[in-house]
A and B are shown apart, each in its own frame.
Chain A
Amino acid sequence: MKKHLYFPGCSLKGSGRAYEESFLAVSRALGLEMRELEDWNCCGATAYMSVDETKSYALAGRNLAIAEREDLDVVAPCSACYLVLNKTQHALQDHPELRAKVVKALKAGGLDYKGTVKVRHPLDVMINDVGLDKISKLIKNPLKGLKLASYYGCQIVRPYATFDDQHDPVTMDKLMIAAGAECVPWPLKTRCCGGSLTGTVPDAGLRLAYILIKEAQKRGAGAIVTLCPLCQFNLDGYQDQMAGKYEKVKMPVLYFTQVLGLALGLSESELGIKRGIISAKAALAR
């Protein structure tokens, strides 16, 4: 069993807990050991970078410094966490002055940062370490007839795409096809879901989320499948408000780990399927 350090981030412990549940269940089924990073703190997401640059790198740096104590890869399922931790590694590599400040601050807290940790996404680990061949062999319940719009959102492939294409990512599509589902062709794979604007500037944010739902519907998808807790939240949670402003829509939004889990024969309750605000029951009954 290959060992990893799991970085949950705040969302996977809150509104995105179905992602944590399904991710951990699928990891076990695939023989991946995920141990939660000891005393991790918030990555800073997009908000903290608007307040203080050096502090936001130090904040992410604390997590990396803790992870460095062991020679294991960090796996971050949340897109914001994945980006921020990777961005910190890049920034501290490229800017020696910044690095000196952050290293000094971390030292004040008794932490040692060297920048040796690799931060990876579950998709990367599943496709490149476990491999599609092995995953295909483990599929017990192929999800024939399930049509999905595979939605990657922004911060997984941009700006530091390492394991997938920046314009047309395919890793999640491959996993969904291995799970027996079908991915409808759609061009909005990496278009912004509105991010935190759904809450702060609803006129703009809601429209962005609505565009995605509408297009998925038009393309004949029975559900959207995603890999980001904020995308899931925006697309799943705001459909009532879209009905008020645009038109009535009903599109379940699942995590890719939930779909993969079902195909691996895991139960709906293990995978947190019922945590969707828009029920996926009809889509999954096919």
Chain B
Amino acid sequence: MALEQKIKYEGDCDQAFAKWVVSQTGGENLRHCIQCGVCSATCPLSLYMDYTPRRLINLAREGFKKEVLSSLTIWLCSSCYSCRVECPKKIQITDIMYLLKRRAIEEGVYPRRFPIPVLAREFGRMIFMFGRVNETLLVMDLFLRTNWFRFLSMTGLGMNLMRTGRMSLLPDHIKKRGELRKVLSALDSEEKA
């Protein structure tokens, strides 16, 4: 029988991670949280989350790195900013979700074939290539990479978009692609330096 430790001691937490969260843009006043739970109450997606926003905030500031980064919560945040507007301590919860998503992608800790990180990555790739996003190609690419079956179930919507002239099959692109790539690549070399 494998035993699992159900309660964590302070020493088990990752203090460096807690410090990192607070050092990021948006995380500055994380420690001001009074755990009132307004964020969880106003969040339209908290009913699907493994940790409600209030609990996630508490876990993040205590350094529960593994729990926070592998949570579904961060990916279910749709960036509606409801929590941020309601928070009495003006904590930028949406931006904390973003910075946790970035860290989770960086460390590769999210469920395999889970569509949201894949979407985010492909979105970035399309921008680097074309400077603009073609919704049709992005969605097709996403389903082919994650869920074939779902792709088939979307054909009805695809036909409707075709019928109403809302689907573009050719990628649109900016003229000065080189200029944009220079800007984005400048930040790559910045990070390495």
Contact = CB atoms under 8 A, between A and B. Distances in A.
Interface string A103-115: 0111011110000
Nearest to B154: A199
Interface in B1-36: 25
Looking at chain B's contact residues, the main secondary structure is helix
A105 to B, nearest CB: 4
Interface in B153-169: 156-157, 160-161, 163-168
Interface in B106-126: 115-117, 119-121, 123-124
A201 B124 contact: no
B51 interface: no
B134 A14 contact: yes
Interface stretch (A122-130, A177-185, A189-197, A214-222): A189-197
A51 B123 contact: yes
B175 A14 contact: no
A175 interface: no
Nearest to A278: B160
Interface stretch (A54-62, A135-143, A250-258, A259-267): A54-62
Interface in B136-193: 136, 139, 142, 150, 156-157, 160-161, 163-168, 172, 174-176, 179-180, 182-187, 190
Given A47-B123, A51-B102, A59-B127, A39 B174 contact: yes
Interface in A49-83: 49-55, 58-59, 62
A276 B132 contact: no
Nearest to A65: B183
Contacts, number: 188
Given A10-B132, A17-B166, A53 B44 contact: no
A237 B161 contact: yes
B81 A154 contact: yes
A166 interface: yes
A192 B186 contact: no
Contact of B133 (A10, A50, A275): A10
B76 A275 contact: no
B121 A51 contact: yes
Given A15-B167, A48-B124, A111 B179 contact: yes
A57 B182 CA distance: 15
A195 B116 CA distance: 12
Contacts of B78: 46, 154, 192, 194-197, 205, 208
B41 interface: no
Nearest to A16: B166
Given A52-B187, A191-B44, A195-B79, 12 more contacts: A48-B120, A51-B120, A53-B98, A59-B184, A111-B179, A159-B81, A192-B82, A194-B78, A197-B76, A204-B48, A205-B78, A275-B164
Interface of B: 25, 44-45, 48, 75-76, 78-82, 84-85, 94, 98-99, 101-102, 105, 115-117, 119-121, 123-124, 127, 131-136, 139, 142, 150, 156-157, 160-161, 163-168, 172, 174-176, 179-180, 182-187, 190
* Nearest 8 Cβ contacts at the A-B interface: A154-B80, A108-B186, A158-B81, A195-B78, A192-B80, A47-B123, A109-B183, A105-B186
